[in-house]
Amino acid sequence: MNERPTTPREDPLESLYPGPMSDTVTAPATLPKANEACWCGSGRKYKRCHKKLEGRVLPGVVSPMRSVPADIPRPPYADTGEPEPWDEPRIKSPEIIERMRHACDVASEVLRLSGEKVAPGVTTDEIDRYVHDLFVERGAYPSTINYHGYPKACCTSINEVICHGIPDSTVLQDGDICNIDVTGYIGGVHGDSNATFLVGSVDPESQQLVRVTEECIWHGIEAVKPGRPLSDIGQAIENHAKKYRYGVVRAFVGHGIGEQFHTDIQVLHYYDSRATTTMRPGMTFTIEPMITLGTVNYKVWDDDWTAVTADGRRTAQFEHTILVTDEGCDVLTGGPGAVSPTAPWNR
Does residue 168 interact with ligand MF3 by CB under 6 A?
no
Say which entry of Co ion, ligand MF3, none residue 155 contacts (CB below 5 to 8 A, set by partner kind).
ligand MF3
Partner whose footprint covers residue 164, from Co ion, ligand MF3, none (CB < 5 to 8 Å by kind)? ligand MF3
Q: Is 286 in the site for Co ion (CB under 5 A)?
A: yes
**Torsions phi, psi for 264 (to 5 deg):** -70, -25
Question: Is residue 124 a contact point for ligand MF3 (CB under 6 A)?
Answer: no
Rg of the chain over all Cα atoms, to the nearest angstrom: 20
Nearest one of 207, 137, 150 to 175, comparing CA atoms: 207
Cα four-point dihedral sign 193, 311, 128, 73:
positive
Contact string (CB under 5 A) for Co ion, positions 148-187, x = contact:
---------------------------------x------
The stretch among 133-141, 219-227, 286-294, 324-332 that binds Co ion (CB under 5 A) is: 286-294
Alpha-helical runs (H) found in 182-305 = 204-222, 231-243
Q: Which amino acid is at 98?
A: E
Q: Is 306 in the site for Co ion (CB under 5 A)?
A: no
Count the site residues for ligand MF3 by CB under 6 A: 14
Contact pick of 181, 238, 311, 330 for ligand MF3 (by CB under 6 A): 181
Task: Count CA within 13 A, CB hemisphere, residue 43.
Answer: 0
First-to-final CA distance of the chain:
28
108, amino acid identity: S
Closest CA to 54 of 75, 90, 84, 24: 24
Would you give the binding string for ligand MF3 spanning residues 272-291, x where CB under 6 A is met? --------------x-x---
Helix residue spans in the chain (DSSP H):
77-80, 94-116, 124-137, 204-222, 231-243
The three-state secondary structure class of 142 is strand
Stretches 80-88, 145-153, 188-196, 297-305: which one binds Co ion (CB under 5 A)?
188-196
Amino acid at 296: V
Q: Which of 164, 219, 250, 299 binds ligand MF3 (CB under 6 A)?
A: 164
Q: Residue 10 in contact with residue 19, Cβ under 8 Å?
A: no
Q: Does 192 bind Co ion (CB under 5 A)?
A: yes
**Judged by CB under 6 A, which of 4, 33, 148, 280 binds ligand MF3?**
148
Q: Considering beta carbons, is residue 23 or 288 the nearer one to Co ion?
A: 288
Q: Which stretches of the chain bind Co ion, using CB under 5 A?
A: 1, 181, 192, 194, 286, 319
Q: Which residues are at the interface with ligand MF3 (CB under 6 A)?
A: 1, 144, 147-148, 150, 155, 164, 181, 183, 192, 286, 288, 305, 319
